[in-house]
Amino acid sequence: MRISVVGCGYLGAVHASAMAHLGHEVIGIDVDERKIEALAAGRPPFFEPGLADILTSATSTGRLRFSTDIGDAAGAEVHFIAVGTPQMAGSDAADLRYVDAAVESLAPHLGEGALVVGKSTVPVGTAGRLAERLAEIAPHARLAWNPEFLREGFAVKDTIEPDRLVYGVADARAVHQLDDVYRAAIDAGTPRLVTDYATAELVKVAANAFLATKISFINAMAEIAEVTGADVTQLADALGHDVRIGRRFLNAGVGFGGGCLPKDIRAFSARAEELGRGEAVGFLREVDAINLRRRQRVVDLAVEALGGTAYRRRIAVLGVTFKPDSDDVRDSPALDVAVQLTGLGAEVVATDPQGIENARARHPQLEYVAATAEALRGADLVVLVTEWQEYRELDPVATGALVGRRVIIDGRNVLDPEAWRGAGWTYHGLGRP
């Protein structure tokens, strides 16, 4: 099938590459010339495990092409919209201008029977509005909403082997067209749910709201653990044995970040308020507040561990991305902590296996070094805020030989406190005694 993907960022570049990998003929469109140039040359413009392989092989066969000209989408049967829906400046609502622009620019190029498929995460009601608009400007085309659930770091696998497919549709033909797109997953038994637009839009924001709530729940327990001497990691293990609760997404620490969970729960609250049902999801404001308090907690712990002031103290910050196996620093708790400590006058040296370039673009005032050992050398305090495998595996003895003082804050609760204390370190976890 001929497919176009409009918007080739973290979602769209992976989606386009994965669709071509599955045998479709795909054109990826983006307004960012540098991104398109890299993708067309088979080079991922960001770090995502496994993307380079499928991108390079699909571009070399000619099945996957990229362009900045939306006119090149003409001739495709299914057109995915994968542009950004960031938080609007000065508000919690989602900024829909890119989605609107993508639909407007695509409309003149839609052939008879073409299906426009929204993948971007949008406030409930957006698809209905866009379908009405399409009926005016491209009456021979139709719209579906097919939210995406991939995780960065696992994006390729999650796209090729999704755990479920959700089709928000207004006509039966759209279901057949989407089945043709996802034939491989459907044949492999992937559950597929056909819904109306509003349900499909809500499934997506509800899923992210639930995940965010689960993380903030355990972080709230960490706050209580901190004043009672309890250990939140043991608490999470014990809770997780109840299959109704489950252990996943109960890792307490510096909290959630990224280009999705934070903005999605805020946009959901804003949309619910517009709909006159703000109180229904009022708890999401609390989820957000708990989450932001965890970043502050790490900063406060750092100041405390440094004897009351961070001024001119050398702090090694391990990790700047919002999670490991990604170079994404959007709303990263790790980077936020580094920036706040710098603001307190600390000499922060930040390091990360993949995120330095993006972090530097946002916060050029920070000092970044590529080598972990260099960040650690002479440090008065070590703060681990992104749990890259390389940091999880740090040897407390060897690390102790590099630093100035053996004090560590494990902002992700991934180190073995006994091993670190045994090597002479003062160890602080979050929600751990």
Ligand X SMILES: O=C(O)[C@H]1O[C@H](OP(=O)(O)OP(=O)(O)OC[C@H]2O[C@@H](n3ccc(=O)[nH]c3=O)[C@H](O)[C@@H]2O)[C@H](O)[C@@H](O)[C@@H]1O
Ligand Y SMILES: NC(=O)C1=CN([C@@H]2O[C@H](COP(=O)(O)OP(=O)(O)OC[C@H]3O[C@@H](n4cnc5c(N)ncnc54)[C@H](O)[C@@H]3O)[C@@H](O)[C@H]2O)C=CC1
The Cα 21–Cα 274 span in angstroms is 41
Element (H, E) at 407: strand 407-410
Query: Among residues 305, 329, 328, 323, which one has the least CA distance to residue 315?
Result: 305
- Confirm or reject binding of residue 6 to ligand Y (CB under 6 A): yes
The Cα 101–Cα 97 span in angstroms is 6
191: burial class by Cβ within 10 Å (0-12, 13-18, 19+)?
Answer: exposed
For residue 287, count other CB atoms closer than 10 A to its CB: 24
- Confirm or reject binding of residue 98 to ligand Y (CB under 6 A): yes
Q: How far is the CB of 196 from ligand Y (least distance, A)?
A: 20
- The string of DSSP letters for 341-374 reads HHHTT-EEEEE-SS-HHHHHHH-TTSEE-S-HHH
Active site annotation includes 260: yes
State the residue for tokens 């000499």: 347
Q: Which chain residues interact with ligand X by CB under 6 A? A: 121, 148-152, 208, 211, 215, 249-251, 253, 255-258, 260-261, 322-323
The Cα 259–Cα 84 span in angstroms is 9
Q: Which is nearer to ligand Y, 79 or 295 (CB)?
A: 79
- Confirm or reject binding of residue 260 to ligand Y (CB under 6 A): yes
Contact assessment for residue 223 and residue 239, using Cβ atoms and an 8 Å cutoff: no
Query: Which residues are within 8 A (CB) of 192 and not within 5 positions of it... i.e. 6 or more apart?
Result: 164, 165, 166, 167, 179, 182, 186
Pull the structure tokens for residue 256.
């959630």
Partner touching 215 among ligand Y, ligand X, none, CB below 5 to 8 Å by kind: ligand X
Q: How far is the CB of 86 from ligand Y (least distance, A)?
A: 7
Q: On the CB side of 32, how many CA atoms lie within 13 Å of its CA?
A: 14
Element (H, E) at 6: strand 2-6
Pull the structure tokens for residue 50.
């496994």
Partner touching 30 among ligand Y, ligand X, none, CB below 5 to 8 Å by kind: ligand Y
Count the site residues for ligand Y by CB under 6 A. 27
Partner touching 83 among ligand Y, ligand X, none, CB below 5 to 8 Å by kind: ligand Y
Q: Which is nearer to ligand X, 25 or 201 (CB)?
A: 201
Partner touching 101 among ligand Y, ligand X, none, CB below 5 to 8 Å by kind: ligand Y
Identified catalytic residue from 11, 36, 102, 260? 260
In this chain, which of 3, 11, 267, 348 binds ligand Y, going by CB under 6 A? 11
- Give the footprint of ligand Y on residues 136-195 (CB under 6 A): 148, 150, 152
- Give the footprint of ligand Y on residues 17-46 (CB under 6 A): 29-32, 35
Q: How far is the CB of 17 from ligand Y (least distance, A)?
A: 13
Query: Which residues are within 8 A (CB) of 22 and not within 5 positions of it... i.e. 6 or more apart?
Result: 160, 183, 184
Q: How far is the CB of 8 from ligand Y (least distance, A)?
A: 5
Partner touching 84 among ligand X, ligand Y, none, CB below 5 to 8 Å by kind: ligand Y
Partner touching 50 among ligand X, ligand Y, none, CB below 5 to 8 Å by kind: none
Q: Which residues on adjacent β-strands are paired with residue 166?
A: 193
Partner touching 256 among ligand X, ligand Y, none, CB below 5 to 8 Å by kind: ligand X
- Give the footprint of ligand Y on residues 99-128 (CB under 6 A): 101-102, 105, 120-121
State the residue for tokens 């390079």: 56
Q: Which is nearer to ligand Y, 32 or 273 (CB)?
A: 32
In this chain, which of 3, 4, 9, 406 binds ligand Y, going by CB under 6 A? 9
Q: Single out the segment in contact with ligand Y by CB under 6 A; choices: 9-17, 235-243, 366-374, 422-430.
A: 9-17
- Confirm or reject binding of residue 232 to ligand Y (CB under 6 A): no
Pull the structure tokens for residue 395.
């040897």
Handedness of CA 154, 249, 320, 376 (dihedral sign): negative
Q: Single out the segment in contact with ligand Y by CB under 6 A; choices: 95-103, 160-168, 212-220, 232-240.
A: 95-103
**Which DSSP state fits 339?**
H
Which stretches of the chain bind ligand Y, using CB under 6 A?
6-12, 29-32, 35, 82-85, 98, 101-102, 105, 120-121, 148, 150, 152, 259-260
What residues are labeled active site? 260
